[in-house]
Structure 1
Amino acid sequence: MTAPADRYVNEAYASLGLRPVVNAAATLTKLGGSLVAPPVLPAMAAASRNFVDVFELHRAVGQRLAKVTGNEAALVSSGAAALLTLAVIGCVSGPKGGPNPVAIEDLPYLDKTGEKTVIIYGSQRNAYDYAVRQVGVRIVEVGPEPDELAAAIDERTACVLWFAGAHFSAGALPIEQVVDIAHRAGVPVVVDGAAQVPPISSLWHFTAEVGADAAVFSGGKGLRGPQSTGLMVGKGWLIEAARANGAPNHSLGRGMKVGKEELLGLLAAVEWSLQQDEPALLAAYETSVQKWIAGLSGLPGIEVERGYPSEAGQPHGRAMVHIGPASGWDRDSLVEALWSADPHIAVGAVDPDVIALNPQTLQNGEDELVLSELRRLLESRRR
């Protein structure tokens, strides 16, 4: 099946001098995350027709999301990074009690509260540290030995932050051990699972099954909700402390706002996602990967293999295309040529001579479009 040509006729983008993208890269924010699931836009349109008490709506949506994911509580905010900030604020201002007005007013300098720290594995440090550091806490790095984590915990520790995904596993203890060590010391654990859907079971695995106090997810990646949303699930005390510091309350998280439309849109996306046949979806991804491997194998200077898991550690494969000199291309020029197509074609630039083709963000027939354009380019420079 080929992608219908009219799929890429978008007057809104064209009026701005832009053209759509065929996304064979990933659920990247810079490309718009994902395409929303079918029930999302109708839910957002329904929300737009009336005013509502946003405090009540936040609580009602949170209660529904908690119920359908098997968690004590849930909170929607403006993306997973925002929820990292709110989770850390919750750990600083309301551990095991409830929102502490003194701590809330003290953010982010913590002059009255005193220094607070967040423990992170050194191997898991990444650009989302900013979401944590803006709270005013100091990051303490630890290594993979259990004794290192235990020794780093003291009266200043607000929480341990653990990043999920196979790509973050090296140099860190498994989440089960992290929770055990931290909880024995009375310290909460927050999991960043932003891109860990699939599997959908991530929505309850880290919290209800393993026992982490909170886990945060992007609403606009695998869940296919509004790109400007994120979901936090977990313990009631932490969700309440985070909620007290987020919009529409006036606190450090006031700017982390989602409207009534995004709230109902994410709820619709999660409920839709829970109804999907995930094994069939993953099998369809694998079909695309094998199609790419078969279609590109044997071209001069090109070697193709299956990469697993995905770039975000998700349980599905990618086609890893190794570009040798005999192909007549280097990685960057080939990536640029694909991007110059109409519509643009986005792929992952991995190692210096490797591009990755990811099936997760493709619509029906687009795997063929990507294969056709890639073959055309590669065959145009045969030596």
Structure 2
Amino acid sequence: MLPFAGALTAKAASAVTPEATTAPKRDFFKELGVTPVINASVTMTFLSGSLMLPEVLEAINSTSYDFANLYELQDKVGAKIAEMLHCEAAMVTSGAACAMVLGTAACITGTDEQKIKMLPNLPGPRPEVIMQKSHRYLFDQAVLTTGAKIIEVEGAAAMAAAINSNTVMALFFNAAGKSSITHEEFLKVAKAKNIPTFLDAAADVPPVENLFKFQKMGFDLVTFSGGKMIRGPQSAGLLFGRKDLIAAARLNHSPHEAPIGRPMKVNKEEMFGMYAALKAYLERDHKKEWADWEQRTKTIGTKLETVPTVKTRMVVDPGPANAFPSLFVNWDRAKIKTTPKQVVAALKSGTPSIVANERDDSLIVGVVLLRPDQIDIVANRVKAILQQASA
């Protein structure tokens, strides 16, 4: 299957689904020997996140022929994004992980030029960031990049006791499996001690309301990934919140030449693309999109259930990350002699290569990232594998 096989059906495609509208002049996948993948899973960075929207591609392409002053562009894009998100200030970052570095740096340095130049090697005690023990995760390494150390706490009382003169920030990982401190308690303790709060909600849309919910709660800084369900550039993200902290984060970022964020630069096309992606996401008919996702699970499920003993059901992940519908598939192992893990492997190694998931005794087929022309491809491939394994 050619990487842009959907070109011929572009007019019939969903308005929110990225598709090629013209035949590519060169097949770079083939030229470089890279296997194009159908993503029947979720928005994973190693799978290049999500597919950019047509509006994003248009923004990137149309702005690539002229130069721009990046200070001015970040000013103007940040102002528009802040307006759309109803917050004080915003900026485009190179992903949510970069936003964590910049947000932490902002809380450490403020607008102090000397501190910005010395980061992460400030003299004296290391800055401290408060986190719940159950919220520790791989991406909190971004905090450590600034030279800060993480202080683990359990419960609101312990959080209050841990805050001292070295505390610069309190970080809340929104997708943590469990919390010993609620959002409201976390904010109450931090505000009583005048400590800035940061919420990492990288993969936490849908629902669209989450873009507004946590800043309204009172978090000083919030980050979302731009390359997941917002469907902007994969290497872009959003950092927004308090005006003074965003100003400090900007000073710690490119195009300034010395700060810690210089290697995390965002090019002009990504800034324009992120703006276009957010605008399109906010203007989208989210109820219609959700109904389309549900219909996709029905379409694939109906086809799979023609195989004897196969049963399917739609499951909505409770979130807050990846809170959208997927199709769970089960079958009688005595009749169909394969496991979900083996089906996942067969899908991945087949042509086309399809990435799906498995959990416990279920095959999980993601539907939200499929192009319309890929729905039948996925359904037919899974069906063929199950039929082949039938006794």
Pairwise same-fold verdict (TM > 0.5): yes
Spell out the pairing of 1:161-310 with structure 2 (5 A cutoff): 161-165=171-175, 168-207=176-215, 209-249=216-256, 250-297=258-305, 299=307, 304-309=312-317
User: Are positions 1:319 and 2:327 aligned together?
Assistant: yes
2:344 to 300, 313, 335: 335
1:30 to 46, 49, 52: 46
Measured in 2, the distance between the counterparts of 1:247 and 1:309 equals: 37
1:111-141 deviation per Cα after TM superposition (whole angstroms, max 9, x unaligned)? 24x2211122222221102211111111112
Q: Could you say what secondary structure the match of 1:231 adopts?
A: strand
CA contact (8 A) 2:60 2:273 kept: yes
Q: Could you say what secondary structure the match of 1:233 adopts?
A: strand
Once structures 1 and 2 are overlaid, which stretch shifts more, 281-290 or 71-80?
A: 281-290
1:369 to 1:296, Cα distance in 2 relative to 1, 3 A: same
Measured in 2, the distance between the counterparts of 1:6 and 1:18 equals: 19
What's the offset of the Cα at 1:5?
Answer: 4.7
Spell out the pairing of 1:125-136 with structure 2 (5 A cutoff): 125-136=136-147
Q: TM (normalized to structure 2)?
A: 0.88
Structure 1 unmatched ranges of 5 or more: none
1:4 to 1:63, Cα distance in 2 relative to 1, 3 A: closer
Q: TM (normalized to structure 1)?
A: 0.90
Once structures 1 and 2 are overlaid, which stretch shifts more, 75-84 or 287-296?
A: 287-296
1:154-183 deviation per Cα after TM superposition (whole angstroms, max 9, x unaligned)? 222221111223xx2523433222112211
Spell out the pairing of 1:80-99 with structure 2 (5 A cutoff): 80-94=96-110, 99=111
1:300-356 deviation per Cα after TM superposition (whole angstroms, max 9, x unaligned)? 6755443332676343222233466433223332112101222211112434x4332
1:15 to 28, 31, 54: 31
What's the offset of the Cα at 1:39?
Answer: 1.2
- Taking every aligned residue pair, what percent have the same amino acid on both sides? 32
Once structures 1 and 2 are overlaid, which stretch shifts more, 247-256 or 291-300?
A: 291-300
Measured in 2, the distance between the counterparts of 1:195 and 1:297 equals: 32
Measured in 1, the distance between the counterparts of 2:35 and 2:221 equals: 39
Equivalence for 1:66: 82
What's the offset of the Cα at 1:360?
Answer: 1.7
Matching residue's letter, 1:335: V
Equivalence for 1:103: 115
What's the offset of the Cα at 1:242?
Answer: 0.7
Equivalence for 1:137: 148
Q: CA RMSD in A?
A: 2.3
CA contact (8 A) 2:42 2:322 kept: no
Measured in 2, the distance between the counterparts of 1:171 and 1:92 equals: 25
1:226 to 1:6, Cα distance in 2 relative to 1, 3 A: closer
Equivalence for 2:159: 149
Q: Could you say what secondary structure the match of 1:318 adopts?
A: strand
Measured in 2, the distance between the counterparts of 1:310 and 1:356 equals: 15
What's the offset of the Cα at 1:105?
Answer: 2.7
